[in-house]
Amino acid sequence: MPPVTETEMKELRDLVLGLREEMRLGFAESKLGFAESKANSDAKFAEAKADNDAKFAEAKAHTNAKFAEVNVAIANLSGDVRVLEERTKLGFWGFIWRALIISTFALAISFTTKYFFFGNFKI
């Protein structure tokens, strides 16, 4: 093997130093690329988050409006039920009077039917 000269060693050393410098530049560029990529990702994430927050706020407002409509409808229905309850509230004496009237009416119908078919009022 031929002996290595000093100029070859110097060239080899310069080559290694140049390669090392190129690697440093490559790593610096890749770090810069990662930083730019992270900044872009953060910006897109913030934009998407703001968009989602706006959509959620809109959906919440719409839901609250629907719940308000349902509550109003329930209140109206509750008022209608109270009015109906007051109209149909019978009470004890009302029940007795209605029972007397209905039983008298039924008795009159039965006597009329008996007279119509048999012609007499025997009890």
Residue type, 25: L
Cα 21 to Cα 68: distance, rounded to the nearest angstrom: 70
Determine what percent of the chain is predicted with pLDDT higher than 70: 89
Angle (nearest 5°) at CA 55 between 53 and 56: 65
Cα 39 to Cα 21: distance, rounded to the nearest angstrom: 27
Q: How far is CA 105 from CA 98, 99, 116, 117, in A?
A: 10, 10, 16, 18
Each residue's pLDDT tens digit, 59-109: 999 999 898 888 888 877 777 777 666 666 777 888 888 899 999 999 999
Instruction: State the pTM of this model.
Output: 0.39
Residue type, 99: A
Put residue 8 in one of left, alpha, beta given phi > 0 → left and psi -120 to 50 → alpha.
alpha
| Contact between 90 and 98 (Cβ < 8 Å) | yes
Which of these ranges, 31-40, 60-69, 108-117, has the smallest mean pLDDT?
Answer: 31-40
